């Protein structure tokens, strides 16, 4: 064993290693529970959901891991602030123009046009790209996760299309993040040169010489650590700790609001709608029709002749006929189009709370808590209760609600 290999240097303290393990674990759990929801029709996804015990268990695990990651992010922000303001450590993770130069030199070297690989300090340009990509991912996933977690609150400020858009962005950002970890991070850190420093806290001099030669030179020259003035350190602590406590409480309150801002439509329906048995006839029940007739007259009506130039047009009086019958409301002639226009953003293919109102069969099937339409009984139909309460994202007008009530009371016919 060489002298370089035997010597090692402390790279990450215990607190940073614990933070890395927590974030790594939550990332893996989020990936394992998120991909089956993104690709829900895949046989592997179906088998995994069954293994977990159902979609509700899967979502509970996913949400719990998301909360832990948010708490880990809060800790990281406060710890970063302490190191930057109190300890006055070098902000070596911030990107710089030198990172662009190092990236270009590495590219030229890898394709055979450069003479040497760039020498880098504590963090390489690749590590900085990964770190800031993670920051970007947390922002995107947090924003889109909030929209999906709180859809009713969201549509008070944004159009309903924001919800399926957030779902799409959330899913594909997750796929991108997982591929980046597997293809880039796993290769660069654990395959190309097995780096155990995030688990052991130390890095051998041989690895330092290849990965971070400039940092190694600073360590040997005694320039890596800045001298600490104890009195100044305590003074900055007295300033930072109260500020960090307030910021921490604000961020914890934000996480609590993120999780508990609204009771979802699923919970609301469960509280309002009674448990009823749905009767759906095999064929629509024909509505009775009446044809208005006039009593026969004893003498024919006189013939009226109106001469309007040449040729003449004769208007002959005939017995009056009944006015055309107004067709009754059905799913096909009115209700289906109305619900598709107003409700498809949340209750179309996305089927929020398991409720799909894009077809008659799906609408009559109801959602995860049972039927929302009770043929012949609009008063006990939860879709009517929800609309009459007002403030729904896909709110119908009073005239449309009246049509919905009339259609349900008449038997909720399809054709």
What single string gives the DSSP state of each residue in 326-395? PPPP-IIIIIHHHHHHHHHHHHSTT-GGG---SSHHHHHH-BTTB-S--TT-GGG-HHHHHHHH---TTP
Cβ atoms within 10 A of the Cβ of 172, count? 12
Q: Measured between alpha carbons, how far is residue 127 from residues 181, 182, 184, 203, 211 in Å?
A: 12, 15, 10, 16, 11
Same domain? For 279 and 149 the reply is: no
| 67 part of a folded domain | yes
Task: Note down pLDDT in tens along the chain; length 415 residues.
Answer: 444 456 888 888 898 999 999 999 999 999 999 999 999 889 999 999 999 999 999 999 999 999 999 999 999 999 999 999 998 888 889 999 999 999 999 999 999 998 899 999 999 999 999 999 999 999 999 999 999 998 888 988 999 899 999 999 999 999 999 999 888 888 878 787 778 888 889 998 888 888 899 999 988 888 877 777 889 999 999 999 999 999 999 999 999 998 888 865 444 444 455 566 666 666 666 666 555 555 555 555 444 444 444 444 444 454 555 555 556 889 888 888 888 888 877 887 777 778 888 888 888 888 887 888 998 888 888 888 888 888 787 788 888 889 889 989 888 898 8
Round to whole Å and give the CA distance between 9 and 16.
15
| 354 part of a folded domain | yes
Can you give the CATH number for the domain in which 173 is found?
1.20.950.20
Round to whole Å and give the CA distance between 375 and 366.
12
Residue 110 domain boundaries: 3-264
Same domain? For 351 and 400 the reply is: yes
Note the pLDDT of residue 268. Answer: 41
Q: Find all residues with CB under 8 Å of 199, minimum gap 6, and list them.
A: 17, 21
Residue with tokens 């974030």: 23
Round to whole Å and give the CA distance between 251 and 249.
5
Round to whole Å and give the CA distance between 135 and 77.
11
Structural contact between residues 383 and 372, judged by C-beta atoms closer than 8 angstroms: yes
Q: Measured between alpha carbons, how far is residue 297 from residues 146, 258, 301, 318, 320 in Å?
A: 74, 77, 8, 10, 11
- What are the start-end ranges of the H helices in 1-123? 3-6, 14-38, 43-52, 55-81, 97-110
Same domain? For 136 and 227 the reply is: yes
Same domain? For 215 and 201 the reply is: yes
Helices 14-38 and 43-52 meet at what angle, rounded to 10?
120
Round to whole Å and give the CA distance between 4 and 6.
6
| 288 part of a folded domain | no
| 25 part of a folded domain | yes
Helix (H, G, I), strand (E, B), or coil: what is residue 228? coil
Same domain? For 246 and 365 the reply is: no
| HSE, side-chain direction, 13 A CA sphere, residue 201 | 9
Q: How many domains does the chain have?
A: 2
Note the pLDDT of residue 265. Answer: 46
| 26 part of a folded domain | yes
Same domain? For 279 and 208 the reply is: no
Same domain? For 238 and 108 the reply is: yes
Same domain? For 220 and 367 the reply is: no
Same domain? For 260 and 331 the reply is: no
Same domain? For 239 and 275 the reply is: no
Structural contact between residues 206 and 5, judged by C-beta atoms closer than 8 angstroms: yes
Determine which helix (DSSP H) or strand (DSSP E) holds 144, and give its type and residue range. Answer: helix 125-149
Note the pLDDT of residue 19. Answer: 92
Helices 55-81 and 43-52 meet at what angle, rounded to 10?
80
Same domain? For 54 and 124 the reply is: yes
Note the pLDDT of residue 187. Answer: 83
User: Rounded to the nearest 5°, which phi and psi values hold at 182?
Assistant: -70, -45
| 302 part of a folded domain | no
Same domain? For 142 and 277 the reply is: no
| 387 part of a folded domain | yes
| 319 part of a folded domain | no
């Amino acid at each position: 064993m060489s002298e370089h290999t035997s010597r090692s240097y402390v790279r990450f303290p215990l607190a940073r290693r614990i933070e890395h393990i927590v974030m790594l674990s939550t990332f893996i759990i989020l990936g394992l529970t998120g991909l089956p929801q993104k690709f829900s029709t895949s046989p592997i996804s179906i088998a995994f959901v069954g293994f977990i015990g159902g979609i509700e268990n899967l979502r509970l695990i996913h949400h719990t891991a998301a909360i832990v990651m948010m708490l880990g992010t809060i800790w990281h922000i406060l710890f970063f602030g302490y190191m930057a303001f109190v300890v006055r450590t070098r902000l070596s993770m911030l990107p710089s123009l030198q990172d662009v130069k190092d990236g270009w030199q590495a590219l030229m070297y890898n394709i055979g046009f450069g003479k040497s690989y760039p020498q880098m300090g504590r963090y390489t340009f690749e590590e900085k790209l990964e770190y800031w990509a993670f920051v970007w991912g947390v922002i995107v996933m947090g924003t889109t996760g909030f929209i999906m977690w709180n859809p009713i609150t969201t549509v008070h400020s944004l159009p309903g299309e924001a919800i399926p858009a957030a779902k799409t962005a959330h899913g594909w950002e997750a796929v991108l993040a997982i591929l980046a970890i597997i293809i880039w991070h796993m290769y660069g850190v654990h395959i190309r040169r097995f780096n155990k420093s995030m688990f052991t806290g130390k890095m051998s001099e041989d690895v330092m010489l290849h990965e971070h030669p400039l940092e190694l030179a600073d360590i040997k020259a005694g320039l890596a650590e800045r001298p600490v003035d104890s009195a100044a350190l305590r003074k900055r602590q007295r300033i930072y700790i109260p500020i960090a406590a307030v910021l921490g409480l604000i961020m914890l309150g934000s996480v609590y609001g993120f999780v508990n801002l609204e009771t979802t439509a699923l919970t609301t329906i469960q509280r309002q709608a009674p448990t009823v048995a749905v009767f759906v006839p095999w064929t629509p029940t024909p509505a009775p029709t009446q044809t208005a007739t006039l009593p026969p007259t004893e003498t024919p009506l006189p013939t009226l002749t109106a001469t309007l130039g040449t040729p003449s047009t004769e208007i002959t009086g005939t017995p009056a006929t009944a006015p055309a019958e107004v067709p009754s409301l059905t799913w096909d002639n009115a209700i289906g189009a109305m619900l598709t226009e107003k409700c498809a953003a949340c209750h179309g293919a996305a089927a929020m709370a398991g409720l799909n109102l894009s077809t008659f069969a799906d609408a009559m099937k109801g959602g995860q808590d049972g039927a929302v339409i009770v043929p012949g009984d609009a008063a006990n139909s939860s879709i009517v209760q929800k609309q009459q309460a007002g403030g729904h994202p896909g709110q119908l007008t009073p005239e449309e609600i009246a049509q919905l009530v009339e259609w349900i009371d008449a038997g909720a016919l399809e054709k």
